[in-house]
Structure formats: structure tokens, C-alpha cells
Amino acid sequence: AQSVTQLGSHVSVSEGALVLLRCNYSSSVPPYLFWYVQYPNQGLQLLLKYTSAATLVKGINGFEAEFKKSETSFHLTKPSAHMSDAAEYFCAVRGFGSSNTGKLIFGQGTTLQVKP
Amino acid sequence: DGGITQSPKYLFRKEGQNVTLSCEQNLNHDAMYWYRQDPGQGLRLIYYSQIVNDFQKGDIAEGYSVSREKKESFPLTVTSAQKNPTAFYLCASSMGQGAIANEQFFGPGTRLTVL
């Protein structure tokens, strides 16, 4: 079975500071991993995805994530936070197996606050 | 433009009434999904469909029903049996199980309020 844990339901950073949102996964097969962003009252937008190619994945809006198999992690980072980055972020892993095939397994989400 | 549309954006209904939420996609995706989102609870899967005329229950299917008569459409009915239907509902689609990553693409959501 697969699962995702996002450490920290709320993260607060100052504008211009480093953004680090943590995601750990559990998977019995090589994982496919995703980060999504959700702005208030909107749907989810794909930021980036890991599909077993390069371990450092670059996404939209200056975000990137590094797949670390030894740590079962896929943390999301951005060197310098902007006010427009304030949103909720979800990490997800592709499901495999009889009960999860075709699904995405989502973490609980992390709300990013950016202070001026 | 290819994408997923959900209508309406906001929906108000009286307690005890059934209501149907629309979801349409023109991405030619095989799979479609319905999620419910409540504050602090992330996304919970209601129903999903991997192919036309077939669908499966997700984690919280009680009180909901769906149909998949066309590839482009996957309407969700919230029935009077759903005890707490007020929530934000998200529809998504993906290429299907054969796709490598099978990432999902989301619609803008429908906020349902039951009075």
C-alpha cells in the first residue's frame, strides 16, 4: 500500500525566505510522486511530478523537489518566497495494487503563509 | 482550450433535496474522479471511473451516486442520505491506468451549501 505524510499542516515564512514543505511517502513499488498547489476556492494545479527520471525535479513558479529514496522523501522547495505563493500544497503518490490502482494518494496538505 | 469544467461554482440547496453537480472534460481522458474537501481534512475520494459505463466507490461513497454514460461527463448526485453535504467538491480526470504517471487534472470546484 502507498501513503503520504506531510509534516506540518501550517508553514509560515517571510517574503524572500526559503520555502521548504516536507513530504514523506511509503510505497512498496518505485513511486510516482506529485506536488499540487491550491489557491483559495480553486481547484488543484500540478506543480511538478517525479517519474523516476532525474531525482531533482523542476516545476512551475520556481518550485523544485528532490526525490530521496534513502529518506523516502520528496520535499518541495523554493529559494525565495513571494506573497503569491501563499496557498495550500498537497503531496501525492500514485496508487498501485488491487485497491489503489488508478488513484492518487494525497497527503493532508500544508498551508503556506507568506509574511511581508 | 482543453480542460475540466464544473458547474455551478456555488450551489445552495435545502436540506433533504437531491442535487447534481456537473463535471465535463475535453481532454479525452479515460478516468474521472470526484473528491470532497472539508477544512483541515485534505481530499477524500468519493467515486471514480476508469472507463465509460463503469465506476467504483471511493472512501466516502455513502450518500452519493454517479453515472458515466459518456467519456466527457461524470456527474455527481448528492442525495438526501448524505448527512453532512456542505463541502467543496472537486472533479478530476486523468489519462488512465495505462499512463506512466497518471497525474490528475482538476476542475475549479463547486461549493455546495445545504441550508
| pLDDT digits 0-9 by tens, B43-87 | 999 999 999 999 999 999 999 999 999 999 999 999 998 989 999
Flag if A49 and B102 touch (Cβ within 8 Å). no
Q: Which residues of A touch B105 (CB under 8 A)?
A: 46
Residues of A with CB under 8 A from a CB of B: 9, 32, 34, 36, 41-46, 49, 51, 90, 94, 101-104, 106-109
pLDDT category at B1 given cuts 50, 70, 90 is low
Backbone phi, psi, residue B86, to 5°: -65, 120
pLDDT category at A29 given cuts 50, 70, 90 is confident
Q: Are strands A10-14 and A110-115 parallel, antiparallel or unpaired?
A: parallel
Amino acid making up residue B10: Y
Provide the 8-state DSSP code for B68. Answer: -
Do A4 and A105 contact (CB within 8 A), yes or no? yes
Q: Residue B33 has what pLDDT?
A: 97
Q: Residue A62 has what pLDDT?
A: 96
Least confident segment among A66-75, A103-112, B59-68, B89-98: B89-98
Burial of B102 (0-12, 13-18, 19+ CB in 10 A): buried
Backbone phi, psi, residue A38, to 5°: -130, 120
Do A37 and A91 contact (CB within 8 A), yes or no? no
From A51, A101, A104, residue closest to B104, measured CB to CB: A104
- pLDDT tens sequence across B3-40: 999 999 999 999 889 999 999 999 999 999 999 999 87
